[in-house]
Structure 1
Amino acid sequence: MGREEEHERFDREIEAMGVRVKDANTVKVRDDVFDEVTLMALYKLVHKKLISVIGGPISTGKEANVFYGERDGQGIAIKIYRVQTANFKAMNEYLAGDRRFSSVRGTRKALVFAWTKKEYSNLARAHEAGIPVPEPLAFDRNILLMQFLGRDEIPYPQLRNADVEDYAAVYREILGYVERLYREARLVHADLSEYNILYHEKPYLIDMGQAVTLDHPRASAFLVRDIKNLNRYFSRYCDVADEEEIIRTLIGAGRREP
């Protein structure tokens, strides 16, 4: 079967599920993304009436692809973790020390399914703590549905590409998010940088699959790395606080919390 025939078969299968394929010609990465596992997850989410439209890709990567979608006319982000190309060793480093997922063993598929659930759980905790993140909506196997952060099907830009008027204010705001994440959600982002922050009128934290709970053996090291990354980026544009002082304040505050 040729690629065009395969694309047509994919479109027919998706549309037979009651999902409209929007801008089908832009879905260039579907060949190796929509495998049997993903289609099964998609079936379940569609039958629950959680997806009504699938559009083109918002972002593509080795680990995951994010597609624009809609549910009852509202924009959603459909994040699909790629089972075949997932970085098994990197994922395991974050999962193994997390008591919520430390029992996960076995296949790459099982690890990816656990990672998807972990990102959903982390986003839920952050969202409940009032931190601006994409609201998690549902997950199944290797698919995570989230609130779409953008306008007119275009996602908000990454911080590194955004038009920011007051870097000092944004820096303080993000440090506030880090503190709230630590004190209230009891999490460390563990991959915070200008690539994993979107900006439109205010910053939004994204990509939280690797975020860890405070009892993770590397939580403190990840926190230090997050602060260093923030200071590295913002020091180009504004004065930044002392890294050690930020971390001392955070860790001290975290220990005082029950």
Structure 2
Amino acid sequence: MKKKIDKKIRSIDEKVDRWRIKFKDDNALKVKEDVFDEYALKTLYTLSKREILQAMGGIISRGKEANVFLADGKENEIAVKIYRITTSSFNSMEEYIIGDPRFKNIRHTKREIVFAWTRKEYRNLKRAYEAGVRVPYPIIAERNILVMEFLGKDGISYPLLKYTEIDQKQAEDIFSRLIEYMHKLYQEANLIHADLSEYNIMIDTDNMSPIIIDMGQATTPEHPRAKEFLIRDIENILKFFRRYGIDTDPDDLYTSIVNDRSENKNSTGEIK
């Protein structure tokens, strides 16, 4: 088994050298046999040729479907999210894509699902950003790689809400802003996050404000399970903030998020 892994790593090393992909340090390379497959390496090469990517840095986060790396962009540090094709959870991705009218023509192969998921997260982030929701600004999606704005300081990303110490006043402010963002997502971006919790919210420690992340699974209200997803998001947020004495009625929150949707439609019924 070890010989097989070593052989795979040597093969990747050769491709990295051939395609002149630059790594700032060894931290990124520690996970290369798990992430840097043929598709990822070719895409990184394409991004570097287009001067979007200068050099790959260390890993920021590891997830079930993807790893996020710090990298050097043309002018600023950027975040590079690489979805794993071979080990991604096909079923969990398909659950959100099936029923989303934007992806009804996707072929149900693992590679095509991952590529579609990457494009989906790019589009979701763009729509959220344009609606005034604080999310990482999406730069480009190419195959199984999403390049985004890096959110942090001195090469260290902002912490997740789950691991951030906040006082009562900060909790109230963050909660209020999150409800505002959920409303904007639904009313203006035509989206439901569908996996919102303290693990998918970063905190900008300069002003203690929330940033919503990981929007690959976000779907439109037309999805057959949209109501279920939105109720789950509300319940997750309320569960976290109850520890700070914030105990809003979930039905009232749901109504406040969805009830004026018709006012944001034009004469053709499309979301403005």
Aligned twin of 1:38: 40
Aligned-partner residue type, residue 35 of structure 1: D
| Amino acid corresponding to residue 257 of structure 2 in structure 1 | L
Corresponding residue SS for 2:72: strand
Give the aligned residue type for 2:216.
G
CA contact (8 A) 2:99 2:224 kept: yes
Match of 2:218 among 211, 218, 223: 211
User: Quick one: distance in 1 between partners of 2:197 and 2:32?
Assistant: 28
Give the % identical residues.
43
- Please list the CA deviations of residues 180-227 of structure 1 after superposition, one character each: whole Å capped at 9, or x if unmatched: 111110100000000000002210000000000111111111110000
Does residue 89 (structure 1) correspond to residue 91 (structure 2)? The answer is: yes
Change in CA separation of 1:146 and 1:15 when aligned onto 2, cut-off 3 Å? farther
Aligned mate of 1:223, from 219, 230, 249: 230
Contact 2:27-2:57 at 8 Å conserved across structures? no
Alignment partner, residue 129 of structure 2: 127
Indicate if the aligned counterparts of 1:65 and 1:80 stay in contact, CA closer than 8 A.
Answer: yes
Does the C-alpha gap of structure 1 residues 72 and 227 become closer, same or farther in structure 2, counting only changes over 3 Å? same
Return the letter of the residue paired with 1:48.
R
- Other-structure match for 1:180: 184
- Counterpart check, 1:246 vs 2:253: yes
* CA distance, structure 2, for counterparts of residue 10 and residue 146 of structure 1: 25
Deviations 1:144-186 (A, max 9, x none): 0000111111111000111323211111111111011111101
Asked if structure 2 preserves the Cα contact closer than 8 Å seen for 1:196 and 1:205, the reply is yes
90, 106, 109: which one pairs with 1:107? 109
Partner of 2:159: 157
Deviation at 1:61, TM superposition (A): 2.2
Choose the corresponding residue for 1:256, options 252, 263, 267.
263
Contact 2:21-2:44 within 8 A present in 1 as well: no
- SS at 1:164 equivalent: coil
Residue 71 of structure 1 aligns with which residue? 73
Distance 1:219 1:6 in 2: 42
Task: Letter of the 1:183 partner, please give it.
Answer: Q
- Please give the root-mean-square deviation of Cα atoms over the aligned residues, in Å: 1.8
Instruction: Give 1:40 deviation, angstroms.
Output: 1.7
Change in Cα spacing, 1:152 to 1:4, as seen in structure 2 (3 Å) is farther
Q: Which residue of 2 aligns with 1:192?
A: 196
Kept in 1: contact 2:20–2:45 (CA 8 A) = no
Cα deviation, 1:113-158, whole Å, max 9, x if unaligned, reads: 0000000000000011111100000111100000011111111100
Q: TM-score, normalising length from structure 2?
A: 0.89
Shift in Å, 1:8: 6.4
Structure 1 letter corresponding to 2:255: R
Q: 1:62 and 1:183 mapped to 2: Cα distance?
A: 30
Q: 1:26-47, CA deviations, whole angstroms, 9 ceiling, x for partnerless residues?
A: 5321112111111122122111
8 Å contact kept, 1:27–1:57: no
Q: Taking structure 1 as reference, are residues 163 and 181 closer, same or farther at Cα in structure 2, changes over 3 Å only?
A: same
Contact persistence 1:69–1:77 (CA under 8 A): yes
Kindly provide the CA deviation profile for residues 224-251 of structure 1, in whole angstroms up to 9, marking residues without a partner as x. Answer: 0000000000001132311000111222
Larger mean CA deviation between 59-68 and 11-20 belongs to 11-20
**Unmatched tracts of structure 2, length 5 or more:** 266-272
Give the letter aligned to residue 232 of structure 1. Answer: K
Aligned with 1:67: secondary structure? Answer: strand
Q: Identify which of 140, 143, 147 aligns with 1:138.
A: 140
- Give unmatched runs, 5+ long, in structure 1: none
Per the alignment, in what secondary structure is the counterpart of residue 174 of structure 1? Answer: helix
Q: Distance in 2 between matches of 1:5 and 1:106?
A: 31
